[in-house]
């Protein structure tokens, strides 16, 4: 006997399905898609929207069954999580339910983490009580027919009652015989489940009737309700999954018998299935994907969500740009958008489908391009402006042209954009030079093309060049109107740009000598003296609320040009750089690490930075330096000649008196010869700056002929030559004499090396496998001597040392190297009128 039941269960369902499908095909054989589309086109957008909302509302009562179950079985589930599980269970059951099997399986799967999830009895009880809504409706229909409340069914009354009785019999067989199955169930739970079942069925029936009324089908409401009850009963008895096929064939039979056109019935069923089955099913799949992605994201430590957000942000940004460009094109060249093959494929977008030939396209397009740039830069304030613009586009299409397709497409873009809100984290918008070039090219191409179209369409141009209009180009009046629109666009663009640029905040902090000196006592570099020029800002990294690491930088455009290595506690350099990059990124700045050591360049590379070798620093190892030997013969000769000529070397320590400062100032002015002082990476002459460091001077007859400021890094145990100046009357080789004596002085101070400064582009790009930009730099090094003596400088410093230390520039891959160099050239000047002042106490004089 069990074997016979198994065979029957495997044969009945396929057989019934085949019969129903064949019957459905036979009944709709004369219905064409044109007939269906013509009927659907009669529905307005707001009616379609209301029906979709009604479809979702119809499913809501079914969720209450799971709320009752969770409370009854004492499940420990958060409300939002329970809503999601209930939605998935009930929507999938509505579309694929099969005599309770799918219902039990879904609840077993989705409540697997609960203590009583293995008990199937409550699940089955919930399912069976869920049928009571149809049973009550069938009983009410029988009473109405029997008592002639529903007229017009006298001839078929027996058959109708028989069909309705089938539902009652099936329900009776399923529920009553197993009385022990219901023992122990809470009566209040039963009442609630009965109420939910009845409410759910009533809403389904109301949705079915509402669709019929919307289509303008002239049937009494009672007839529509009876047709729905009969079809639901047949679907229940046929046991087809999700009532697909059986319900539809039954409705076709019943309504066709009531003289309703088959094409209207098919549209009725299509709309019912779409709003009650398909759209909720799509939402369930989206929810399921979201839950699965959330689980996978948790298992893989957030990487999948990060990748998904990044991809979504990139795609959304591209679509915003594309929409903005096509909006402008459709306003300037409406017919070209349709004629060009590539653009013709994009006609489903609102700008070509419903907004063509409209001046507002130009305004909305340009504003969307501005907002798209803000979105591309991940600026928080761009979120509101983009939302407003997309909503305005939807409303514009809705009220001006009343097409639903553009609303749906822009609505999808709007929804996709709303999901990327977490990717917009920057507090302010800074338009980088690189982005200005890209956006300028887009804007320029659009504006120039429109102006050219206006020019070629003028009567003079047409007359002289015999230009024939082909329907693609607007008239002169349109061009004049477009010129006015350009003014409007400029005004609104300026307002939107000011909105995005609002609340600008500079990165880092201004010069604070006390705070700076506190860090320098922890660790300094041979570039930290440049911090006292007063042309930079500072970033401090704190450990336990104490400054541990500092960086000096200067802002230009969106770039924070960091000068030299970080200073302070070297054990925190990596953390400090990472924090600096992150904090700068939030404010829209991109750090550039200029003239940094190989160690710092490698750290920056770990943050995704590219690096470029700038050149090499000449380091004189003091213990190894000697003027003996044939190689140093010329240097010895120059030094001896200077001694015989009466030149005297001396290191002056601050504070300096007015006489010395005047001499130094005069030499500096003579050496500059009208040229502007440099800054940022070089010291400049300023009394406040000069007073901070010892000065090596070469004098004759108490008159200074050459000098160099000396900077000492105690951490590196290195002395560096900063500002070097000499008079025009100074003899050749004066700097050789100054360097040799400075080397001896540095050695006497117990230091290890003397830094003679950078030799730009030295030993850069010498290998065939070097980066292309470094190979180009090598050509500049070899053949650029007419502009700057690169090889000559390197050769000169090589007289004193063979130790060369490479120095690098590390920059973000988002930045163009050419723009980084332009930024460096822009800031490589004095920058300030005076260096920061400090108190100078003259407790002695420096005399020769």
pLDDT digits (tens, 9 = 90+) for 109-162: 777 777 654 566 677 777 777 777 777 877 777 777 666 665 555 555 555 556
pLDDT tens digits, 184-242: 577 787 888 888 888 988 998 999 999 988 888 888 888 888 888 878 877 777 666 66
> pLDDT value at position 242?
61
Q: Do the bridges between strand 718-726 and strand 753-760 make them parallel or antiparallel, or are there none, so unpaired?
A: parallel
Average pLDDT over residues 12-35: 53
Structure confidence at residue 313 (pLDDT): 87
Pairing between β-strand 804-812 and β-strand 609-621 as defined by DSSP bridges: antiparallel
Least confident segment among 382-396, 517-531, 588-602, 782-796: 782-796
* Cα distance between residue 570 and residue 500, in whole Å: 38
Q: How many CB atoms lie within 10 A of CB 701?
A: 9
Q: How many CB atoms lie within 10 A of CB 776?
A: 13
Mean pLDDT of the chain: 79
Tell me what the mean pLDDT of segment 696-722 comes to: 92
Greater confidence, 698 or 766? 698
Query: pLDDT: is 546 or 290 the higher one?
Result: 546
Query: For the CA atoms of 19, 89, 225, 141, what is the dihedral angle to 10 degrees?
Result: 90
- Between 770 and 307, name the one with better pLDDT: 307
pLDDT at 574 exceeding the cut of 90: yes
Least confident of 95-109, 630-644, 682-696: 95-109
Helix, strand, coil abundance in the chain, percent, nearest 5? 60, 10, 30
pLDDT value of position 184: 59
Chain centroid to CA 626: how far? 59
Within 13 Å and on the Cβ side, how many CA atoms surround 340? 13
- Length reported for the chain: 848
Least confident of 206-220, 321-335, 493-507, 595-609: 321-335
Which uninterrupted H or E stretch holds 297?
A: helix 279-299
Is the pLDDT at 180 greater than 60? The verdict is no
Give the C-alpha separation, 548 to 238, whole Å: 78
- Rounded Cα distance, 636 and 524, in Å: 34
pLDDT at 817: 83
- Asked whether 595 and 758 are in contact (CB, 8 A), the reply is yes
Q: How many CB atoms lie within 10 A of CB 522?
A: 17
pLDDT of residue 247: 80
What number is the average pLDDT over the span 609-638? 87
Question: What per-residue confidence (pLDDT) applies to 181?
Answer: 55
Average pLDDT for 671-690: 86
Point out the least confidently predicted range of 289-293, 381-385, 616-620.
289-293
pLDDT of 9 > 50? The answer is no
pLDDT at 347: 46
What is the pLDDT at residue 116?
59
* pLDDT for position 44: 78
Looking at residue 476, its pLDDT comes to: 52
- Determine which of 507-511, 515-519, 793-797 has the lowest per-residue pLDDT on average: 793-797
pLDDT for the residue 424: 92
Strand-pair partners of 613: 808
Of residues 344 and 742, which shows the higher confidence score? 742
Phi, psi of 206 (to 5 degrees): -65, -40
Percent of the chain whose predicted confidence (pLDDT) is above 90? 29
Percentage of the chain lying above the pLDDT 70 cut:
74
Most confident of 33-47, 467-481, 549-563, 774-788: 549-563
Task: pLDDT band for 351, please (50, 70, 90 cuts).
Answer: very low
What does CATH list as the number for 618-803? 3.40.630.30
Q: What is the mean pLDDT of residues 515-532?
A: 93
User: Can you tell me the mean pLDDT for 434-453?
Assistant: 84
* Residue 85, phi then psi, degrees to nearest 5: -65, -45
Rounded Cα–Cα distance for residues 578 and 723 (Å) = 33
Report whether pLDDT(708) > 60: yes
Place of tokens 């050239």: 825
Distance of CA 380 to the CA centre of its chain: 10
**What are the extents of the domains in the chain?**
11-274, 303-500, 618-803
pLDDT value of position 23: 52
DSSP state of 764: -
Burial class (CB in 10 A: 0-12, 13-18, 19+), 714: exposed
Prior bond of 437 cis (ω within 30°): no
Which of 365, 382, 522, 501 lies closest to 446, judged by CA? 365
Distance CA 122, CA 469 (A): 76
Question: Which of 176-190, 299-313, 361-375 has the lowest average pLDDT?
Answer: 176-190
Q: Which residue has the higher pLDDT, 537 or 675?
A: 537
Number of neighbours of residue 60 by Cβ within 10 angstroms: 15
The mean pLDDT value for 422-449 works out to: 90
When pLDDT is cut at 50, 70 and 90, the band that residue 572 belongs to is very high
pLDDT in the model for residue 244: 72
Banded pLDDT at 348 (limits 50, 70, 90): very low
At 775, is the pLDDT very low, low, confident or very high (cuts 50, 70, 90)?
Answer: low
CA dihedral 287, 289, 294, 298 (to 10 degrees): 160
């Amino acid at each position: 006997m069990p074997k016979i039941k198994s065979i029957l269960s495997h044969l009945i369902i396929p057989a019934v399905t085949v019969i129903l499908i064949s019957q459905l095909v036979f009944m709709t054989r004369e219905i064409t898609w044109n007939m269906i589309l013509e009927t659907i086109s009669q529905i307005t957008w707001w009616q379609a929207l209301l029906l979709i909302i009604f479809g979702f509302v119809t499913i809501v009562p079914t969720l209450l069954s799971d709320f009752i179950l969770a409370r009854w079985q004492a499940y420990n589930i958060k409300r939002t999580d329970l809503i999601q599980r209930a939605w998935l269970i009930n929507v999938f059951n509505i579309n694929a339910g099969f005599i309770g099997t799918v219902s039990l399986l879904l609840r077993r799967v989705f409540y697997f983490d609960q203590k009583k999830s293995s008990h199937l009895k409550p699940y089955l009880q919930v399912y069976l009580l869920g049928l009571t809504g149809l049973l009550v409706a069938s009983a009410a229909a029988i009473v109405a027919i029997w008592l002639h409340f529903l007229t017009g069914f006298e001839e078929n009354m027996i058959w109708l009652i028989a069909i309705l009785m089938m539902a009652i019999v099936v329900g009776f067989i399923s529920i009553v015989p197993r009385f022990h199955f219901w023992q122990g169930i809470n009566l209040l739970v039963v009442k609630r489940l009965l109420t939910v079942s009845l409410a759910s069925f009533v809403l389904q029936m109301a949705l079915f009737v509402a669709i019929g009324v919307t289509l303008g089908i002239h049937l009494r409401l009672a007839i529509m309700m009876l047709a729905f009850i009969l079809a639901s009963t047949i679907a229940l008895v046929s046991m087809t999954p999700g009532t697909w096929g059986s319900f539809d064939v039954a409705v076709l039979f019943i309504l066709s018998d009531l003289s309703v056109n088959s094409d209207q019935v098919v549209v009725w069923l299509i709309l019912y299935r779409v709003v009650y089955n398909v759209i909720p099913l799509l939402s369930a799949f989206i929810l399921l994907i979201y839950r699965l992605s959330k689980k996978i994201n948790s298992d893989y430590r957030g990487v999948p969500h990060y990748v998904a957000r990044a991809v979504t942000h990139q795609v959304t940004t591209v679509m915003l740009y594309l929409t903005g460009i096509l909006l402008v094109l459709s306003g300037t060249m409406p017919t070209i958008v349709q004629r060009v093959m590539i653009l013709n494929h994009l006609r489903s977008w609102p700008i070509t489908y419903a907004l063509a030939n409209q001046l507002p396209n130009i305004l909305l397009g340009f504003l969307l391009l501005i907002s798209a740039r803000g979105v591309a830069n991940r600026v928080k304030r761009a979120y509101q402006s983009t939302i407003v613009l997309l909503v305005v586009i939807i409303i514009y299409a809705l009220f001006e042209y009343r097409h639903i397709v553009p609303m749906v497409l822009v609505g999808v873009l709007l929804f996709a954009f709303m999901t990327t809100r977490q990717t917009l984290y920057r507090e302010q918008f800074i338009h980088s030079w690189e982005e200005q070039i890209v956006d300028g090219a887009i804007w320029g191409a659009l504006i120039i093309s429109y102006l050219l179209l206006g020019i070629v369409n003028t009567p003079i141009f047409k007359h002289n060049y015999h230009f024939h209009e082909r329907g693609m180009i607007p008239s002169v009046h349109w061009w004049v109107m477009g010129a006015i629109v350009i003014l409007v666009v400029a005004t609104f663009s300026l307002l939107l740009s000011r909105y995005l640029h609002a609340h600008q905040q500079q990165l880092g902090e201004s010069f604070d000598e006390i705070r700076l000196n506190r860090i320098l006592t922890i660790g300094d570099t041979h570039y930290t003296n440049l911090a006292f020029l007063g042309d930079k800002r500072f970033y401090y990294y704190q450990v336990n609320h104490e400054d541990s690491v500092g960086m000096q930088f200067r802002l230009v455009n969106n770039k924070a040009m960091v000068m030299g290595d970080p200073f302070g506690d070297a054990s925190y350099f990596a953390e400090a750089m990472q924090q600096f990059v992150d904090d700068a990124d939030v404010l829209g700045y991109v750090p550039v690490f200029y003239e940094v050591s190989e160690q710092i360049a490698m750290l920056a590379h770990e943050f995704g930075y590219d690096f470029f070798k700038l050149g090499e620093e000449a380091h004189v190892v003091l213990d190894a330096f000697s003027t003996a030997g044939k190689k140093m013969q010329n240097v010895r000769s120059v030094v001896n000649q200077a001694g015989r000529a009466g030149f005297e070397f001396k290191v002056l320590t601050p504070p300096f008196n007015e006489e010395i400062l005047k001499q130094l100032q005069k030499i500096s002015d003579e050496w500059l010869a009208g040229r502007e002082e440099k800054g940022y990476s070089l010291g400049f002459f300023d009394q406040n700056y000069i007073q901070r460091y010892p000065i090596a001077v070469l004098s004759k007859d108490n008159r200074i002929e050459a000098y160099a400021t000396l900077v000492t890094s105690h951490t590196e145990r290195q002395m560096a030559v900063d500002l070097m100046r000499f008079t025009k009357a100074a003899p050749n080789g004066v700097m050789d004499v100054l360097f040799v004596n400075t080397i001896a002085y540095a050695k006497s101070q117990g230091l290890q090396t003397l830094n003679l400064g950078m030799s730009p582009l030295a030993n850069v790009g010498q290998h065939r496998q070097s980066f292309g930009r470094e190979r180009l730099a090598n050509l500049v090094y070899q053949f650029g001597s007419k502009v700057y003596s690169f090889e000559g400088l390197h050769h000169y410093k090589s007289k004193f040392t063979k130790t060369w230390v490479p120095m690098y520039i590390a920059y973000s891959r988002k930045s163009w190297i050419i723009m980084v160099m332009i930024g460096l050239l822009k800031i490589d000047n004095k920058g300030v009128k005076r260096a920061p002042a400090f108190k100078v106490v003259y407790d002695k004089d420096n005399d020769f």
